[in-house]
Amino acid sequence: MNVAVIGAQWGDEGKGKIVDLLTPHFSVVARYQGGHNAGHTVLVGGTKFVLHLMPSGILHPGVSCVIGNGVVVDPEALFEEIATLAQYGIEVGDRLAISDKAHVILPYHRDLDLLSEARRGDRKIGTTSRGIGPAYEDKIGRRGIRVGDLADPSAFAEQVRENVMARNRLVGDSALEWQPLFERMVTYGERMRPWVKDVSLFLAQVQAEGRSILFEGAQGTFLDIDHGTYPFVTSSNSTAGGVCTGLGVGPRSIGSVLGVAKAYTTRVGGGPLPTELSGPMADRLREAGQEYGASTGRPRRCGWYDAVAVRYAARVNGLDAIALTKMDVLDGLPHIDVCTSYRCGDRTLTEFPGNVLQLAACRPVYERLPGWSKPTGGVRSYGELPAEARSYIARLEELSGVPVGIISTGSDRDETIFREESVAAAWLGQKA
Ligand code: GDP
Ligand code: IMO
Ligand code: MG
């Protein structure tokens, strides 16, 4: 069965850890959107890997990794990541497939990202400055350059020239010369050529052979361009719908959808976060959870678990189960608040509002649950969790309407609980 792993909050839920953990039961791990704005951390036996563009399955030898057409690829970042992996003895070899239809991030996209942020003043998105938005703008504007184009220099030279001229007009200088850039892209194109494929066809063949695919989402539901807290979002569809358009697979290819959610909430960048905390409790969560961006190092904004938000994520993604991560970060708290609805003026909202101004005006309504004193850190069986931790999980299940199938109690692969009755346990039995 093919499974999609999707962020159920604002990104950084621990998707990398969960994807890495599930990978041995799949043949292929496929990214369908985003780019190197993602930072997916995988901790293996004390060694920390942060994957940006490369699917988090790459650490398992024999597993193929796919970068779909919905991803934006910065060749420089790609080769840097491949070189870093090689330092740890992880060879990409012929295990990588990159869609010929994936769009390329060029250096002018980074310049335009910075410019656009500077112009927004106090309405900044707080992007990762990786050129993600401008690359997707060029894609939608039908002036983008695709990985497949790099194979035929004559076909994209004119486009690079036009795009660079447009960049120079906007930035107000003529600092970027198109020709050296064009030549660099041609070289990258040659280096990437062995990996460039018709990914849709490749995935159809994988499925025809009865092998399974793990779809790896980047960012999270509330950073989705359509279903997130627009305009404070990324520029792609990180929700489950993106799997089909971002890889060229039909909806029936998605056998099951796993949402990853932290046992609390974080966000990095601008935009409303209804349960955001300030003061000592925010600091406590940030330090205990080491909530600093895996890509940019920025401190993450922290708050309590928002069940209104996760219930919305369950709906727009069709979640079958949740992987609840970072339970251990809540260890030792006397009590834990969970947001069950919003108060907006004189109204109580139980559904996540689609409008960001309305969301910004919402105040969380909390239910207070008891904390636990016995640590959950590193616990590997459900029965060993303190009773209050089990009650906490049960209440989150009730509130979000989705069963918690996987519980993560630490960063390492092994610090995980699979609940036997969950759909997730069944995936462990399947052969790759
Ligand atoms: P992703 O972007 O969704 O893959 O998540 P990130 O890698 O950006 O952030 C998650 C962080 O939490 C990483 O540093 C992980 O190593 C860490 N992590 C994942 N699961 C757990 C857990 O259960 N407990 C703790 N303490 N850390 C975790
Ligand atoms: P992973 O996959 C958390 C946020 C940025 C900014 C907004 C737009 O590790 O969960 P962009 O550079 O994409 O144009 O920035 O989205 N953002 C993320 N936040 N985790 C991520 O990825 C993110 N990728 C982008 O902080 O608010
Ligand atoms: Mg991350």
Q: Is 217 in the pocket of ligand 1 (CB under 6 A)?
A: no
Query: Quick check: bond before 231 cis, omega within 30?
Result: yes
Whether 75 shows a pLDDT value over 80: the answer reads: yes
**Atom 6, ligand 2: residue with shortest CA distance:** 127
Of 315, 314, 361, 367, which Cα lies nearest the Cα of 339? 367
pLDDT computed for residue 432 by the predictor: 75
Helix, strand, coil in percent for the chain, rounding step 5: 40, 20, 40
**Atom 9, ligand 1: residue with shortest CA distance:** 12
- In degrees, rounded to 5, the angle at the alpha carbon of residue 309 between the alpha carbons of residues 305 and 313 is 120
Tokens at residue 145, please?
């350059």
pLDDT computed for residue 175 by the predictor: 85
User: What's the predicted TM-score (pTM) here?
Assistant: 0.97
Tokens at residue 269, please?
């960048």
Amino acid code (one letter) for 45? G
- Contact at 8 Å (CB) between 239 and 221? yes
Amino acid code (one letter) for 258? L
Distance 186 CA to ligand 1 centre (A): 37
Q: Which atom of ligand 1 is nearest to the CA of 260?
A: 3
Q: Is 22 helix (H, G, I), strand (E, B) or coil?
A: helix
Whether 275 shows a pLDDT value over 80: the answer reads: yes
Q: How many CA atoms lie within 13 A of 86 on its CB side?
A: 8
> pLDDT tier at 68 (50, 70, 90 boundaries)?
very high
Q: Is 72 in the pocket of ligand 2 (CB under 6 A)?
A: no
CA dist 78 → 53, 58, 72, 105, 109 (Å): 6, 13, 11, 11, 16
Percent of the chain residues past pLDDT 70, beyond the cut: 100
Ligand number, closest to the Cα atom of 129: 2
Q: Is 16 in the pocket of ligand 1 (CB under 6 A)?
A: yes
Q: Is 349 helix (H, G, I), strand (E, B) or coil?
A: strand
Percent of the chain residues past pLDDT 90, beyond the cut: 94
Quick: pLDDT tens for 305-364.
999 999 999 999 999 999 999 999 999 999 999 999 999 999 999 999 999 999 999 999
Quick: pLDDT tens for 316-327.
999 999 999 999
pLDDT computed for residue 428 by the predictor: 84
Q: Is 12 in the pocket of ligand 1 (CB under 6 A)?
A: yes
241-247 mean pLDDT: 98
Ligand number, closest to the Cα atom of 219: 2
pLDDT computed for residue 174 by the predictor: 74
Domains of the chain listed by start with CATH number: 3-100+198-429 (3.40.440.10), 103-195 (1.10.300.10)
Quick: pLDDT tens for 390-420.
999 999 999 999 999 999 999 999 999 999 8
Q: Which helix (H) or strand (E) holds 86?
A: helix 75-87
113-137 mean pLDDT: 96
pLDDT computed for residue 353 by the predictor: 97
> pLDDT tier at 26 (50, 70, 90 boundaries)?
very high
Q: Is 326 in the pocket of ligand 1 (CB under 6 A)?
A: yes
Whether 366 shows a pLDDT value over 90: the answer reads: yes
CA dist 328 → 220, 389, 408 (Å): 21, 10, 8
DSSP string of 235-298, one letter each residue: SS--STHHHHHHHT--GGG--EEEEEEESSEEE-SSS--TTB--SHHHHHHHHHTT-B-TTT-P
pLDDT computed for residue 22 by the predictor: 96
Enter the DSSP assignment of 419: -
Q: Which atom of ligand 1 is nearest to the CA of 416?
A: 23
Q: Is 216 in the pocket of ligand 1 (CB under 6 A)?
A: no
Of 360, 363, 358, 390, which Cα lies nearest the Cα of 374? 390
- Contact at 8 Å (CB) between 282 and 302? yes
Number of H helices, E strands in the chain: 13, 20
Please return the burial class of 141, using the count of CB atoms within 10 Å of its CB with bins 0-12, 13-18 and 19+: exposed
Whether 431 shows a pLDDT value over 80: the answer reads: no
Tokens at residue 76, please?
């420089």
**Annotation says 40 is catalytic:** yes
> pLDDT tier at 383 (50, 70, 90 boundaries)?
very high
Q: Which helix (H) or strand (E) holds 343?
A: strand 335-344
Ligand number, closest to the Cα atom of 13: 1
* Beta bridge mates, 216: 5, 31
- Please tell me which residue in 40, 103, 109, 227 is annotated as part of the active site: 40
pLDDT computed for residue 348 by the predictor: 97
DSSP string of 29-49, one letter each residue: EEE-SB-TT--EEEEETTEEE
* Beta bridge mates, 366: 339
Quick one: CA dihedral 116, 122, 127, 129, positive or negative?
Answer: positive
**Atom 6, ligand 1: residue with shortest CA distance:** 12
> pLDDT tier at 287 (50, 70, 90 boundaries)?
very high
295-304 mean pLDDT: 93
pLDDT computed for residue 172 by the predictor: 87
CA dist 242 → 34, 155, 201, 425 (Å): 10, 28, 17, 25
**Annotation says 12 is catalytic:** yes
CA dist 84 → 19, 29, 78, 196, 346 (Å): 20, 19, 10, 21, 54
Query: Any residues with CB less than 8 A from the CB of 11 and at least 6 apart, and which?
Result: 38, 218, 219, 220, 223, 238, 267, 268
